[in-house]
Amino acid sequence: MPLARPRPAPPAPSASASAGATEAVAAVRAQALTKVHGRGETAVTALDGVDVCVTRGSFTAVMGPSGSGKSTLLNCLAGLDDATSGRVWVGPQEVTGLSEKALTRLRRDRIGFVFQSFNLLPVLTAGENMLLPMVLAGRRPDEAWRAEVVERLGLGDRLGHRPAELSGGQQQRVAVARALLPRPDVVLADEPTGNLDSRTGAQVLSLLRSAARETGQSVVMVTHDPAAAAYADRVVLLADGRLAGEVADPTPDSVLAALAALGG
Ligand code: ADP
Ligand code: MG
């Protein structure tokens, strides 16, 4: 099924950003990104000098052993977590160093985030949860797009239910819908199929892939599942907080082989 309508072209990169951004078309970019959680004896280096560039309209999967820094990378790209050093851009906008207020606006206007733990509000229905970011931004959803997302995620008969009345998989799909409805430039999803069976997982993955291919959004997805990663255009491998390889045009087999080569 075709997506409702192509989104308008994003604004051209501003001159102020071009100084640091060698790749003007990057939708998200990290340069020498390092993140140390905690301090002193208990400090943990979750990211150790990561360079990554996600082009507009691409679908990138991030894989690696548990604890390799995947969630930290996504959180730093979204400005949900502060980098210890290094820089991050979303489009032409440098994220590192932004005020809390500017970060909130950037996340609201440009980024859709699917949390591993869903983060749905318990008092709102599924339908209300989905629309909340748009309501907060004072925007109205494109009705055709809303209907398409709801249908493709199989949520039509669950819109009036509260999260406690939904299965984990249904809650996860509501969280995916919430991230996609505003049509953000960048969708960052942390294990968005982790609670789904293969059929509903495929629904989510094909929707993420169409968001990238048909509407030019850029999708970065953390996953443990080689079959899920094979929906992406590229897989980036992390190990111990560092880039440990990359697989272009991944298939489940080529991803498995790359993971095996990591020794994880
Ligand atoms: P992944 O998502 O690949 O499993 P994470 O990014 O969650 O990895 O974690 C990377 C490392 O950072 C792990 O060693 C983890 O224990 C540590 N870590 C993550 N978040 C925190 C935190 N808030 N405080 C302290 N350590 C953390
Ligand atoms: Mg994680």
242 lines ligand 1 (CB under 6 A): no
With a 6 A CB cut-off, is 86 part of the ligand 1 pocket?
A: no
> What local confidence, expressed as pLDDT, does residue 134 receive?
94
27 CB under 6 A from ligand 1?
no
Determine how β-strand 59-63 pairs with β-strand 85-90: unpaired
Q: Could you tell me if the CB of 35 is within 6 A of ligand 1? A: no
- In degrees, rounded to 5, the angle at the alpha carbon of residue 149 between the alpha carbons of residues 146 and 154 is 125
What atom in ligand 1 is closest to the CA of residue 69? 6
Which uninterrupted H or E stretch holds 26? strand 26-37
Nearest CA to ligand 1 atom 21: 37
Spatial separation of the C-alpha atoms in residues 22 and 166, rounded to whole Å: 45
For residue 241, the ligand closest to its alpha carbon is 1
Q: How many CB atoms lie within 10 A of CB 87?
A: 16
Taking the centre of ligand 1 as the mean of its atom positions, its distance from the CA of residue 72, in whole angstroms, is 6
For residue 238, give the ligand 1 atom closest to its CA.
3
Q: State how far the Cα of 8 lies from the Cα of 3, in Å rounded to an integer.
A: 14
> In what helix (H) or strand (E) does residue 244 lie, and over which residues does it extend?
strand 242-248
CATH number of 23-262: 3.40.50.300
Which tokens hold the place of 122? 């318990």
Counting ligand 1 atoms within 8 A of each CB, the residue from 41, 44, 68, 191 with the most, and so the one to mutate, is 44
- The pLDDT of residue 206 is 94
* pTM as predicted: 0.90
- Ligand 1 proximity of 69 Cβ (cutoff 6 Å): yes
- 264 residues of the chain, pLDDT tens digit each: 444 444 444 444 444 444 444 445 689 999 999 999 999 999 999 999 999 999 999 999 999 999 999 999 999 999 999 999 999 999 999 999 999 999 999 999 999 999 999 999 999 999 999 999 999 999 998 999 999 999 999 999 999 999 999 999 999 999 999 999 999 999 999 999 999 999 999 999 999 999 999 988 999 999 999 999 999 999 999 999 999 999 999 999 999 999 999 875
Cβ-contact 17, 23 below 8 angstroms: no
CA distance 179 to 24: 25
**pLDDT computed for residue 14 by the predictor:** 43
Cβ-contact 68, 263 below 8 angstroms:
no
| Whole-number pLDDT of residue 25 | 67
